[in-house]
Amino acid sequence: MEEIEVKFLNIDPEAIQKKFADIGAKKSGEYFYRRRVFDYPDWRLDKQGAWLRLRDEGDRITLSFKQRLGIKSHDGSESDDGMEEVEIIVDDFDKTALLLVRIGFVEKHYAENKRIRWVKDEVEFDIDTFPELEPYLEIEARSWEKIDEAILWLDLNPADKKIFSANQIYALKGINVADYARITFDGMLKKA
């Protein structure tokens, strides 16, 4: 299924949350996410702009196949055409990771992020904070028309929207996520 979301970089979290309140959005929570990202040993998913993501969201654990669609750059300089996401809920973070390793996948990295979520009319507004990155806004909805409507609600410039992954945001800062085994708020551990 196509994941319908856009990102806006370099936001002011306090100012954007005031806008959320002004448009009638409701804060639904603050979350700490941890994720493990997997691929085959020959990196065949990576070569296709894809990966497996196991994510502990606090209240649920998901396993997702994600693939960038219409890749135009790897350095974050251009947006992709979209993102495919196939997601299921699993019940154990560590056992699912072990299962993936036992059937032949390798862990690319472990990463953390913090998220503040607001919701209005089935549109999710997430302020994401990742280690070493400035907070950014992610808007997700069921249709591109609803995304466009949400951008208007917030009086954002549609030309500033980005369609790409957090790894591309790291790339914009000159950080290659593939060089790291752990990306945490306690520090980023380079691979040996």
- Where in the chain are the domains? 2-190
Phi, psi for residue 20 in degrees, rounded to 5? -55, -50
pLDDT tens per residue across span 13-32: 999 999 999 999 999 999 99
Token pair of 88 as six digits = 């299921």
Q: Return the pLDDT at 83.
A: 92
Single pTM value for the model: 0.91
Q: By the 8 A CB rule, do 125 and 136 touch? A: no
Phi, psi for residue 135 in degrees, rounded to 5? -60, 145
What's the CATH superfamily of 2-190? Hypothetical Protein Pfu-838710-001 (2.40.320.10)
CA-atom Rg of the chain in angstroms: 17
pLDDT tens per residue across span 142-188: 999 999 999 999 999 999 999 999 999 999 999 999 999 999 999 99
